[in-house]
Amino acid sequence: MEEEFDSTEHSGLFAEFYDILHAGNQDISGYLELADKYGPRVLELGSGTGRILLALAKENYQVTGIEISRDMLKICREKLAEENQEIKNNVTLIAGDIKEVSLENAFDLILAPCNLLNYFLEVSEIKQIFKRVEEHLAAEGVFIVDNSIPDIPFMVENNGKEEVFRFTNPKTGRLLVDRFTASYDFVNQLEYDQIELEEYQGDQLVRSAETRKTLTYFFPRELKLMLESSGLKIIEERGSLLEPRPITENSSEMVFICRV
């Protein structure tokens, strides 16, 4: 059995199986609609394995992805290599840190999908990202942030408890077991994740990896405050990426559409 201990949640097995673990995400049709309204030149921050980026490129949007993880980029490049030349021509991939990367091009639409901002524990880092966004937005361009709203009752109840998710790898038929434990610092709004991934052939454990990661989480008011104090104007806020309903006490998601 090959084991990986020096792993992050976006490297090794975690990168290899990212698309399987996130196959249930419902956001792609929302991004296609928003690209239809605001595209065609799209910049995705933290583009990962190209889950969203490739869906946009297939619909003929010009998409640039910035990604820091070598392994996530590798998977994205492998997926892109299987596409036709027209789709390949729609994609630019950049290895780098979204806090640092500076491009010549301007974009009609910049995306911060899938709780991206939760990776940045310091407000100064978020401000740096928003500054880069402002530099890269075209005159009428929009920046879209999509984040979960923390479910405090759920977090309190599940604090430190292991949750187990099972997936079948459609390519190999192998079972993937994802053991996920989140613990919270409710004062500093920190989430400490411990994730173990196991791959089974029948009953036999063939590979495993584990990682620990600290994230933060935001509530709507503070995300709005950070956007607005960075000079971004919120032109629309929604409780769902898929439909324009308001953020209410029952919302699990917050989407902010901003202009400079």
Ligand X SMILES: C[S@@+](CC[C@H](N)C(=O)[O-])C[C@H]1O[C@@H](n2cnc3c(N)ncnc32)[C@H](O)[C@@H]1O
Binding site for ligand X (CB under 6 A): 10, 22, 44, 46-48, 51-52, 66-69, 72, 97-99, 113-114, 116, 119
H helix or E strand, kind and range, residue 88: helix 85-89
User: What is the rounded distance in angstroms from the CA atom of residue 134 to the CA atom of residue 6?
Assistant: 36
Smallest gap from Cβ 36 to ligand X, in A, equals 19
Q: How far apart are the first and last CA of the chain?
A: 52
- Tell me the HSE value of 104 on the side-chain side, using a 13 A CA sphere: 1
Smallest gap from Cβ 218 to ligand X, in A, equals 15
Cβ proximity to ligand X, 165 vs 201, nearer residue? 165
Smallest gap from Cβ 11 to ligand X, in A, equals 8
Q: Report the DSSP pairing between strands 233-238 and 204-216.
A: unpaired
User: What is the rounded distance in angstroms from the CA atom of residue 110 to the CA atom of residue 116?
Assistant: 13
Cβ proximity to ligand X, 18 vs 184, nearer residue? 18
Cβ proximity to ligand X, 46 vs 141, nearer residue? 46
DSSP secondary-structure letter at 31? H
H helix or E strand, kind and range, residue 41: strand 41-45
Smallest gap from Cβ 128 to ligand X, in A, equals 10
Smallest gap from Cβ 93 to ligand X, in A, equals 11
Cβ proximity to ligand X, 167 vs 200, nearer residue? 167
Smallest gap from Cβ 230 to ligand X, in A, equals 17
User: What is the rounded distance in angstroms from the CA atom of residue 9 to the CA atom of residue 187?
Assistant: 25
The CA-based angle 69-105-18, given to 5 degrees, is 25
| Spatial CA neighbour of 58 closest among 88, 37, 31 | 88
Cβ proximity to ligand X, 201 vs 252, nearer residue? 252
| Spatial CA neighbour of 50 closest among 77, 16, 21, 25 | 77
